[in-house]
């Protein structure tokens, strides 16, 4: 089973949209079953949808001097303590510590105030419990505030590597950079996420020949591969049925899905740190994917570190242009704002 954790407004809205399609596919042979959970600091993103109350977790202040909570207003600091103190209650309630057979996927935007805190906190806790986990992170570079939150979210995920001595796996999309039309770009990102989840549903299915659960766990957490001594990184999960094009020094790990007529790896060994393959044995699934095979699900090591550098450059460039245009000293990137909280590696 694949457990989806939709965090914050963006994650919830997207998952509600995708849920009927993913659940329909999960009834077919060769695809994984999906189970959805919805987490937020407000019910405003949930109340208009038909979602089972048992699948919803709203973080509330239950202290003696409780304060009214209704969202985070894109301010990541506002509810950090509330979410951090309440995340274990959610994990205990769902008995996730006893979950041995499921793959966990967390979906959230990096630019908001709630999902970008809930998501990394949940990712951290699942790593601590040695559960297979990856995050789908939806970025946006259409304002200085969104860029700043995205930088801080990615840096926070990077800090989890040292905290847990494990890699952190992220499928990363940018809302507004695929098309000049913002709405079309968002729709394209949503469509790409749905496509990726469908492929992962086939890849993580128990019926795939030659690929067991531990293979998948090792793909998502290659710190299991002690003998290879692969450095733990902030790694980007990409999915493609085309030939993988890499920069000269780029390193990847691969899981491939293919037909039983395919045998040879189509990659240059100097770029590949680890690879496994699974053969689609269910005829119905093979018919769905035969024109797309082989499908490469691969981790690009260190690519998100380069993305953080790009975002910082974009931030500085936009800040400079803003100041010129408005004759105003806009100091949103003041390093004093980037503080680590409670030694958890969270940059807020």
pLDDT at 344: 67
Query: What's the average model confidence in pLDDT over 297-309?
Result: 87
pTM: 0.89
Lowest mean pLDDT of 25-29, 208-212, 217-221, 282-286, name the range: 282-286
CA angle 164, 170, 200 (to 5 degrees): 115
Chain CA centroid to CA 202, Å: 18
| DSSP state for residue 230 in the 8-state scheme | P
Burial per residue of 302-314, b for 16 or more beta-carbon CB atoms within 10 angstroms, e otherwise: ebbeebbeebeee
pLDDT band for position 263 (50/70/90)?
low
Domain ranges of the chain: 2-237+299-347
3-class DSSP state of 25: helix
Lowest mean pLDDT of 79-88, 132-141, 172-181, 313-322, name the range: 313-322
Contact assessment for residue 257 and residue 196, using Cβ atoms and an 8 Å cutoff: no
Would the pLDDT of 333 be above 50? no
Percentage of the chain lying above the pLDDT 90 cut? 35
pLDDT at 97: 81
3-class DSSP state of 329: coil
CB atoms within 10 A of CB 117: 32
Provide the token pair at 255: 């899981």
Element housing 276 (H / E): strand 272-279
First CA to last CA distance, the chain: 33
pLDDT at 322: 59
**310/9 Cα distance (integer angstroms):** 26
64-119 pLDDT tens trace: 555 667 777 777 877 888 888 889 999 988 888 888 889 999 999 999 889 999 99
Distances (CA, A) of 253 to 18, 220, 266, 271: 28, 9, 13, 9
CA angle 229, 230, 232 (to 5 degrees): 120
CATH number (3.40.50.800, 3.40.50.1440, 2.40.50.180, 3.40.50.300) of 2-237+299-347 reads 3.40.50.1440
3-class DSSP state of 224: helix
Distances (CA, A) of 70 to 58, 73, 189: 10, 9, 28
pLDDT at 158: 92
Provide the token pair at 325: 């245009």
Half-sphere exposure of 325 (CA within 13 A, CB side): 7
Provide the token pair at 91: 């994990």
């Amino acid at each position: 089973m694949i457990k989806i954790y939709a965090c914050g407004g963006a994650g919830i809205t997207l998952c509600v949209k995708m849920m009927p399609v993913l659940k329909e596919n999960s009834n077919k042979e060769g695809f994984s079953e999906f189970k959805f959970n919805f987490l937020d600091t407000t019910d405003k993103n949930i109340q208009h949808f038909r979602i089972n109350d048992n699948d919803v977790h709203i973080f509330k202040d239950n202290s003696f001097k409780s304060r009214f909570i209704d969202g985070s207003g894109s301010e990541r600091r506002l509810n950090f303590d509330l979410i951090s103190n309440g995340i274990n209650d959610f994990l205990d309630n769902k008995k996730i510590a006893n979950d041995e057979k499921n793959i966990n996927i967390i979906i959230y935007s990096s630019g908001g105030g709630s999902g970008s805190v809930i998501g990394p906190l949940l990712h951290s806790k699942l790593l601590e419990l040695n559960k297979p986990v990856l995050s789908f992170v939806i970025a946006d570079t259409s304002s200085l505030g969104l860029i700043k939150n995205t930088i801080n979210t990615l840096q926070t995920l990077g800090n989890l590597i040292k905290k847990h001595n494990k890699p952190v796996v992220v499928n990363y999309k940018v809302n507004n950079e695929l098309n000049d039309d913002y709405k079309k770009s968002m729709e394209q990102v949503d469509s790409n996420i749905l496509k990726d989840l469908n492929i992962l549903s086939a890849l993580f299915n128990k019926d795939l020949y030659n690929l067991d659960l531990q293979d998948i766990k090792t793909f998502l957490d290659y710190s299991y591969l002690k003998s290879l001594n692969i450095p733990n990184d902030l790694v980007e999960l990409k999915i493609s049925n085309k030939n993988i094009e890499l920069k000269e020094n780029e390193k990847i790990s691969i899981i491939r899905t293919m037909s039983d007529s395919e045998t040879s790896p189509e990659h240059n060994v100097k770029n590949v740190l680890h690879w496994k393959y699974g053969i689609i044995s269910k005829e119905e699934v093979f018919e769905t994917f035969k024109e797309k095979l082989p499908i490469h699900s691969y981790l690009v090591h260190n690519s998100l570190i380069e993305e953080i550098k790009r975002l910082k450059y974009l931030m500085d460039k936009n800040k400079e242009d803003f100041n010129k245009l408005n004759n105003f000293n806009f100091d949103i990137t003041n390093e004093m704002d980037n503080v680590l909280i409670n030694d958890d590696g969270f940059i807020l």
